Amino acid sequence: MPAILIVDDSVTVRTDLGEALEAAGFRAIPCGTIAEARNALRSQPIALAILDVRLPDGDGVELLDQIRRDPTIGGLPVLMLSSEAEVEHRLRGLRTGASDYVGKPYDTAHVIMRIRQLIGGPPVRDLVLVIDDNELYRKDLSEALAGAGFATAVARGGAEGLQLAASVQPTAILVATAMPDVDGTSVVRRLRLDPGLRTTPVLLLATSGEAKDAEVRALDAGADGLVRKDDLAVVVARTRALLRSVSATLLRATGSRVAPKRILAVDDDPDYLALLGDRLRKRGYDVVRAASGEEALQLLSLQTADCILLDRSMAGIGGLETCKRLKAAPGVRDIPLIMLTATDNRDAVIEGLSAGADDYLTKGSGFEVLTARVQAQIRRKQIEDEQRHVRERLLRSEVEASEARMARDLAEKRAALADHFEQANAELVRTNHELETFSYSVSHDLRAPLRTINAFVLALVEELGDRVEGRSLDYIRRVLAASSRMGDLIDSLLELARISRVPLGRHRVDLSVLAAAAIDDLARGEPRRDVDIVVQPHLEVDADARLMRILLDNLFDNAWKFTSKCERPKIELGVSRQGDEPVYYVRDNGQGFDMAHADRLFMPFVCIDGNPARRGIGIGLATVRKIVERHGGRVWAEGEPDRGARISFTVPAPEAS
């Protein structure tokens, strides 16, 4: 049960609020001084505090300031309760951090309602609210309902009933058709305008002498039925039947707008202001008073209102200027404003409405007319707010639907694109396979005629013997050289095709050992060359050893050829890192190349310049790229003319299957 701390030096206030809180399902902790309040705050958990401003041992606003500065209870909801005449107290309390401010004399139902709005409250199931000005009938009906298992709450009139309905959120409402302040049909109409209570079942209680069309008028107002008051058993039975027929999901709603509306009354005549506040409170409104336009602006900067009653002629900035400032302020410009004046001069009316007032009324029109105008303005604002909320919900729905359509279209396009890419990739794989097969077949089939050419040329040389000389001998040598080059080309094509077709056999391979063997083969071919070879030891990778040997053979062969003109040739095998990835490289200080041609280096049969030092058929680096890609790695080249070249490659570890 939530504990509510009541700090007020008035025994009457503490008792009145304590009883009301206990009846509403809260636990009241009354304190008459600040010292008692401090002890209560330290000794037990408090859900909300109600503070008076004037206390025997200090100032309630100062206690509020201490609460806000305390890290353990700084977020405690605090409701200030003090004389409505002390505007400065209200301003101080709100500036210090009060959750809300209720002026004295207060309405108990309003206080309970504000507490429930701030912290919630214990739910009451099957609660029936009885609204009737006859005390004896209220008692008899409450006892009959209690005997049938219902909890009850009672109100003495229409205004009090509307406040209590907003506070306790009853399961059903029984309201008398005739009451002195607000009649039953008006109560029903106001309930049906409220989003939080419009679905609550309502029965009108009629006397036996009422007109025959009373039920038609009741139903037309929005009531769920009309029942005669004199038979309590029938009233209870109709209530039970009504609740059975209503979906339980419709019985509870939140955000009631029948809660007491806050009216800001601004007038420099204290007598009229007091009379106006008294009349409006009797109609169920919460009234905040301000004696000038300056006070009104200060109050509205701290606490909002549902309607503003503004005197046209006041000392200070006056009603017209106050109205203009209010209608120019973003936070309060939409609050309905009714301008009051002692005269009905036509020019004054036009001037007031031109300043931004929503309505204009002479004080002599009477409080009945004023109350009706206030109710009409609040109802208009309420309907506008509901329509705006509906428009916002519709707009959000349209935006969400549009986003959903866009997401669906995007997903469909992505799926179609994925299918297209999958088909294209499959086609590419098939084409590559066919090209590799074709290349292998062509290369293999070219060997036979090439062997025939070589055989007949050699036979011709043998047959002619010494008769072959001069130009004829040069022709024969050229044919044999071209045949040998063609054989190398076929061997390279077969090797490239074989690399694409052979399955990978990955295991731990030491590149340093393979590099030493490759360099040894090159050195035996040109034993007189003096090349500085640097191989970093223990360069181990998970790869196919045979393919890694072919890769290193090609890289070192290129470096060996491209450093042939260097005075001090140097070739290096090493490793660097890009982030967490090892990058292996073969670097030389040979002739290098222009970086503009870097991408073409790895294309088959491409020679980026006509330098004879680059002898070969242009298939070596294409083979390197194919081997690296089969291992899932990357290969790239860096160089500069006459400054050497560096071929880098990665060999990622195989993914765990």
Q: pLDDT tens, 498-522?
A: 777 677 889 999 999 999 999 999 9
pLDDT at 309: 95
Query: 1-121 — its CATH code?
Result: 3.40.50.2300
pLDDT at 207: 87
Q: Return mean pLDDT, the chain.
A: 85
Q: Which residues of 143-181 are buried (b: 16+ CB within 10 A; e: fewer)?
A: ebbeeeebbbbbbbbbbbbbbbbbbbbbbbbbbbbebeb
Q: Is 318 left (phi over 0), alpha (psi -120 to 50) or beta?
A: left
Predicted confidence (pLDDT) at residue 211 exceeds the cutoff of 80: no
Assess contact for 557 and 620: CB atoms under 8 A: yes
pLDDT at 107: 78
Give 50's strand partners: 6, 79
Assess contact for 232 and 205: CB atoms under 8 A: no
Assess contact for 525 and 654: CB atoms under 8 A: no
What is d(CA 325, CA 347) in angstroms, rounded to the nearest whole number? 21
What is d(CA 158, CA 165) in angstroms, rounded to the nearest whole number? 10
Task: For residue 147, give the DSSP letter.
Answer: H
pLDDT at 27: 92
pLDDT at 473: 79
Q: pLDDT tens, 434-468?
A: 766 776 666 667 777 877 888 888 888 788 877 77
Domain 123-258 and domain 262-365 have a common topology: yes
- Mean pLDDT, residues 611-624: 66
Predicted confidence (pLDDT) at residue 608 exceeds the cutoff of 70: no
123-258 CATH, one of 3.40.50.2300, 3.40.50.1820, 2.70.50.60, 3.40.50.300: 3.40.50.2300
Nearest to 223 by CA among 113, 125, 127, 131: 131
Could you give the percent of the chain with pLDDT greater than 70?
91
Q: How far are the Cα atoms of 435, 444, 483, 495, 616 from residue 489, in angstroms, in the given order?
A: 17, 11, 10, 10, 9
- Mean pLDDT, residues 559-565: 90
| Secondary structure (3-state) at 329 | coil
Quickly tell me which residue has 């301000």 as its tokens.
Answer: 290
Query: 503-649 — its CATH code?
Result: 3.30.565.10
What is d(CA 172, CA 194) in angstroms, rounded to the nearest whole number? 15
Q: pLDDT tens, 415-430?
A: 999 989 888 888 887 8
The maximal CA–CA distance of the chain, rounded, in angstroms, is: 152
User: What radius of gyration, in Å, describes the C-alpha atoms of the chain?
Assistant: 49
Give the residue extent of every domain in the chain.
Answer: 1-121, 123-258, 262-365, 405-495, 503-649
Per CATH, the homologous superfamily of domain 262-365 is: Response regulator (3.40.50.2300)
- Mean pLDDT, residues 182-200: 84
Q: pLDDT tens, 70-110?
A: 988 999 999 998 876 668 888 888 889 999 888 887 878 77
Assess contact for 209 and 310: CB atoms under 8 A: no
- Mean pLDDT, residues 522-537: 92
Predicted confidence (pLDDT) at residue 615 exceeds the cutoff of 60: no
Predicted TM-score of the model (pTM): 0.51
Q: pLDDT tens, 31-80?
A: 999 999 999 999 999 999 999 998 999 999 999 999 999 988 999 999 99
Tokens of 545: 């050893």
pLDDT at 443: 61
Q: How far are the Cα atoms of 263, 268, 297, 313 from residue 317, in angstroms, in the given order?
A: 21, 12, 11, 9
What is d(CA 279, CA 289) in angstroms, rounded to the nearest whole number? 13
Output the CA torsion sign for 504, 505, 510, 514.
negative
Tokens of 549: 């040997």
Predicted confidence (pLDDT) at residue 250 exceeds the cutoff of 50: no
Output the CA torsion sign for 186, 284, 207, 238.
positive
Q: pLDDT tens, 312-349?
A: 988 889 999 999 999 998 888 899 999 998 887 888 88
Alpha helical stretches, state H, 107-260: 108-119, 135-147, 158-168, 184-192, 214-221, 232-245
Nearest to 89 by CA among 53, 125, 58: 53
